[in-house]
Structure 1
Amino acid sequence: MQSNPIASVIISTYNQPNWLDLVLHSYNFQSRNDFEIIIADDGSDERTKIVIDSFRAKTELNIIHVWQEDDGFQKTKILNKAIVASNTDYLIFTDGDCIARKDFVETHLNLRRTKYALSGGYFKLDASVSNKISKEVIQKQECFDKEWLLAQGQTKSFKFNKLTKSKTKARLLNTLTPTKATFDGMNVSCYKQDILAVNGFDERMQYGAEDREVGERMMNNGIKFLQIRYSAICVHLYHDRPYKNEEILQKNNAIRKETKRLKSYYTDFGINKKKH
């Protein structure tokens, strides 16, 4: 096992063992390996544990599995537990359906700056192409190759630029993109102290912009967000979102409005609970 990791890759997951198996595989080919992996598991069944144990047996990386009982979509709670379980001062957040290009961790580490968070993006794979991704495809890095993806039937679009290998082009597109740099949980990194300073994720929030809200509090606390969506590359495996709920979205929006209105940077519903 590697000693003294300098970053923690926090991967959130819930009952997608096949996707998680592929995602974990992508971290065996990173251009640097001085990081640990923390799996933030929002109540998956035994199949996910089997995938994690199997990967742990085959890798030199330190793997920490943080699990909680299944109680509906409680991603904010498990992410807070994962932050507490991390052993480094730099955190990279991603999802269990996002396969990382081999320079993913290195890019986040090379671009990190104090008082900044790094905002990445993802390239969304079509459903039919997602089902053609195998461990061999990941090892050969074919799932990040435009020609290979087109040959598998991926829809043509401008978004293929998100897979650029040119650092110069990536820097230019990061500057030109109209997309705001925000806290998007599938590809974002920050110093641990900066997310602890705002008390982590607001645990009242369920699916829908729960990651944006923690970023907004970090911004209120003086952290700037840097756009790296064309530099830190991952591809997103297709899946449905059965947990979308209009009532919860409205509740989340109300919390975000309050955060903006009060310019608040701290939540009483985060890692440290206020005694009421």
Structure 2
Amino acid sequence: MNARDTSIIISTYNSTEWLEKVLYGYDNQTYRMFEVVIADDGSDERTKNLLTKIQKEVFYPIVHVWHEDDGFQKSKILNKAIEACSTEYIIMSDGDCIPRKDFVEQHVKFREEGYFLSGGYFMLPLDISKAITKDTIFSEKCFDLKWLKQHGLKSSFKNNKLTASGLKAAFLNFATPTNASWNGHNASGWKKDIVAVNGFDERMQYGGQDRELGERLFNLGIKSKQIRYNAVVIHLDHPRGYKNEASIQKNQAIRKHTREQKVIRTPFGIKQEA
């Protein structure tokens, strides 16, 4: 019998310094009945070596799903990772997002049949991202405003993401103008729902492929819940060399078609039907 009831998909590509910090974040979780599935978009041996090392240190099992490097093919590797998940519930995040210790607990607490959950992230500048260590992750100092401000973080309304809890978090979730969309860095849903819409559209490269998946879930009749002030990750800074305007425009056209035609199941997904 599988004692785990949750799978966490973490996408990565040749970013071992950040991925190591993220994996220590999952080793610090209050809720522990999960597996981690690494969706590796063609990294070199360094990622494999890191996972071999980390697996000896952490309590959770790590499944490494990898394919050959063929440019930015995140949608394809995420679909392979979805298939590799052994549980009924999937949380998705990225290899540059360190989870607060109650991150998995919050997703499990708010999950409900007929819904997916939409979390948020707190962006850190590069110098603070570099300053985070294994010790500051396990002590939770990297989520502490005092520590962050000592390292140069400026005051902002967004800092509420790190301090809100209980009724304040519930109010901010209700009041936020941000849509409860499927976010690649922090979202979760039932595997059967994700499979029902055939996962990610593999024609889509950088820019909005996560939102498009959520739009097809809406077309299926799945609703969303806003938990951006409950399930918190800090987003480590890095350059985005894979970002390009042509890809974004192509993806916007696919998303427009999905919304206007009420597309539920992409033929370019987990099962190639085109």
Measured against the shorter chain, the TM-score band is over 0.9
Q: Is the 8 A contact 2:164 2:229 kept in 1?
A: no
Q: Is the 8 A contact 1:98 1:236 kept in 2?
A: yes
Q: Is the 8 A contact 1:119 1:225 kept in 2?
A: yes
Cα distance in 1, alignment partners of residues 240 and 31 from structure 2: 33
Partner of 2:267: 268
| Aligned-residue offset at 1:165 | 4.7
Partner of 2:246: 247
Q: Is the 8 A contact 1:89 1:192 kept in 2?
A: yes
- The Cα offsets for residues 210-246 of structure 1, whole Å up to 9 and x where unpaired, read as 1000000000110111100000011000011111111
Cα distance in 1, alignment partners of residues 138 and 2 from structure 2: 24
| Aligned-residue offset at 1:4 | 2.1
Partner of 2:109: 110
Q: Give the RMSD, CA atoms, in angstroms.
A: 1.0
Partner of 2:174: 175
Partner of 1:11: 10
The amino acid that maps onto 1:79 is L
Q: Is the 8 A contact 2:91 2:186 kept in 1?
A: yes
The answer to whether structure 1 residue 151 and structure 2 residue 150 are counterparts is yes
| Aligned-residue offset at 1:167 | 1.6
Cα distance in 2, alignment partners of residues 78 and 157 from structure 1: 36
Cα distance in 2, alignment partners of residues 230 and 94 from structure 1: 16
Question: Aligned to 1:242, what secondary structure does the other structure show?
Answer: coil
| Aligned-residue offset at 1:62 | 1.1
The amino acid that maps onto 1:142 is K
The answer to whether structure 1 residue 259 and structure 2 residue 270 are counterparts is no
Cα distance in 1, alignment partners of residues 31 and 166 from structure 2: 18
Partner of 2:188: 189
Partner of 1:94: 93
Partner of 2:78: 79
| Aligned-residue offset at 1:32 | 1.5
- The Cα offsets for residues 171-210 of structure 1, whole Å up to 9 and x where unpaired, read as 1100000000000100000000111110000000000001
- The Cα offsets for residues 94-134 of structure 1, whole Å up to 9 and x where unpaired, read as 00000000000000000001100000000000111111000
Q: Is the 8 A contact 1:126 1:155 kept in 2?
A: no
Cα distance in 1, alignment partners of residues 201 and 270 from structure 2: 8
Q: After the TM superposition, which parts of structure 1 deviate over 4 Å for at least 4 consecutive aligned residues? A: none
- The Cα offsets for residues 31-67 of structure 1, whole Å up to 9 and x where unpaired, read as 0110000000000011111111111111221110000
The answer to whether structure 1 residue 57 and structure 2 residue 61 are counterparts is no
Partner of 1:21: 20
| Aligned-residue offset at 1:155 | 2.2
Cα distance in 2, alignment partners of residues 3 and 252 from structure 1: 38
Cα distance in 1, alignment partners of residues 253 and 171 from structure 2: 36
Cα distance in 1, alignment partners of residues 267 and 25 from structure 2: 36
Cα distance in 1, alignment partners of residues 66 and 240 from structure 2: 21
| Aligned-residue offset at 1:3 | 4.7
Cα distance in 2, alignment partners of residues 165 and 159 from structure 1: 10
Cα distance in 2, alignment partners of residues 34 and 241 from structure 1: 33
Cα distance in 2, alignment partners of residues 192 and 164 from structure 1: 31
Question: Aligned to 1:131, what secondary structure does the other structure show?
Answer: helix
Cα distance in 1, alignment partners of residues 167 and 260 from structure 2: 39
> Which structure 1 residue ranges, 5 or more long, are not aligned?
none
The amino acid that maps onto 2:156 is S
Cα distance in 2, alignment partners of residues 32 and 226 from structure 1: 20
Cα distance in 2, alignment partners of residues 213 and 124 from structure 1: 23
Cα distance in 1, alignment partners of residues 165 and 265 from structure 2: 39
Cα distance in 1, alignment partners of residues 90 and 163 from structure 2: 24
The amino acid that maps onto 1:52 is L
The amino acid that maps onto 1:172 is F
Question: Aligned to 1:205, what secondary structure does the other structure show?
Answer: coil
The amino acid that maps onto 1:53 is T
Partner of 1:238: 237
Greater shift after overlay, 2-11 or 216-225? 2-11
The amino acid that maps onto 2:250 is K
Cα distance in 2, alignment partners of residues 108 and 36 from structure 1: 14
Cα distance in 2, alignment partners of residues 135 and 186 from structure 1: 21
**Count of residue correspondences:** 274
Cα distance in 2, alignment partners of residues 200 and 155 from structure 1: 39
